[in-house]
Structure 1
């Protein structure tokens, strides 16, 4: 019986992940509707290049997460590999888009607790970079590769769902409350994946690692942790003439 379960666990694939990734589009529409998409309908859209650039790069990454598993499911491995090479271009550009947009929105203003305010964006960049690196180092191990790429998609859940909860569902916008609710849902999602994965023999460490990194950053965010060196780096970042 144990041998049967083991064999069955080893055969678990993530070729349907692309269909689930479509949900990220719905979350993006819900989360960014009040502050971005709706503006194009009421004539108040006055966004500059940084907003559009970030939207474009995030959209391309989500499209990769949708298309690539579907290509695997349809056994289009050659096309999957060719499109996969685009990730080495899209991800760096996505990271640059986040940095530029954050720098622009700070607008050169150095405030108390500036360092602590940067953990939110740094979290996403660190996690997506770590998970993408794991995915690429294990691109010949589908079990690890697939999990790590799914983890890069999980990164998009918090900023999209968080905006939807904060700006639409809460009676009064409350960033920390909205973030707290979002984090609870996010943890429930990751823990569910960990439970589902409990009988896997290859790669089941990816989702616990993802949860651990999230927990470290969320501790820094909720308790507004900072220190002199990080505040100095934050000040240096704000003073850079990049936007």
Structure 2
């Protein structure tokens, strides 16, 4: 009985907690995005708007789906879930296009190392989504994997809030370090809470390991000739 209660608390209410991602997005992007529409300085390109729209749709899906399950709207949950096969590829495209546009075709020193930040999100979200879809009949694994895709959004939203609002002076690496510490605390807490669960408890440890690998690459600005060549090829593509 205790195990079933824990599972219900972890997953049925996940949609309500996912609403917090919208709050983080608002706080994180207020200085550089939302506020610009009020002071008349908004001059964003369509790639940025496209990325923001796709990110918002994915978070909205993470909010809606657990609420539908909690209210036993299983048929609607299943039909709405099919939208993920449209939204996720569009989200991936938005990340790629925005990064390519920001590079501006310039192959600068450290370009390869700079791409780990975006690749991290794509790889982790993509892998967790594959795990979720491969386990649609196992709600314990499916729910954990979908929650994991939402955790990925904490870094760019909370990170921006810390860097642009909380720190006395913007410091990317310091802000990212604080954000990563908070995220690791959250994931480790989930792992500890989940230690007595009988199904799917391996999802969050995998998530933590993936984050640790990519954050190592980011913080130590790791690159190598093959990756630098791929980065230069990406920058030269005529896609934006």
Into which bin does the TM-score normalised by the smaller protein fall?
A: over 0.9
2: CA distance, partners of 1:8 / 1:26: 28
Asked if 2 retains the 8 angstrom alpha-carbon contact of 1:13 and 1:143, the reply is no
Deviations 1:28-57 (A, max 9, x none): 000001111111000000111101100100
Matched, 1:34 2:40: no
Matched, 1:213 2:210: yes
Deviations 1:32-84 (A, max 9, x none): 01111111000000111101100100000000000000000000000000000
Q: Which residue of 2 aligns with 1:60?
A: 57
Higher deviation after alignment, 95-104 or 5-14: 5-14
Number of equivalent positions: 240
2: CA distance, partners of 1:6 / 1:127: 28
The correspondence for 1:196, drawn from 188, 193, 197, is: 193
Over the residues paired in the alignment, what is the CA RMSD in angstroms?
Answer: 1.2
2: CA distance, partners of 1:12 / 1:118: 37
Q: Which residue of 2 aligns with 1:93?
A: 90
| SS of 1:38 mapped into structure 2 | helix
Q: Which residue of 2 aligns with 1:80?
A: 77
Q: Which residue of 1 aligns with 2:149?
A: 152
Deviations 1:1-33 (A, max 9, x none): xxx655665666511000000000000000001
| SS of 2:43 mapped into structure 1 | coil
Q: Which runs of 4+ in 1 moved over 6 A?
A: none
Deviation at 1:165, TM superposition (A): 0.3
Matched, 1:161 2:158: yes
TM-score w.r.t. length of structure 2: 0.97
Asked if 2 retains the 8 angstrom alpha-carbon contact of 1:131 and 1:151, the reply is yes
2: CA distance, partners of 1:10 / 1:185: 23
Matched, 1:172 2:177: no
Q: Where does the alignment leave 5 or more consecutive residues of structure 1 unmatched?
A: none
Q: Where does the alignment leave 5 or more consecutive residues of structure 2 unmatched?
A: none
TM-score w.r.t. length of structure 1: 0.96
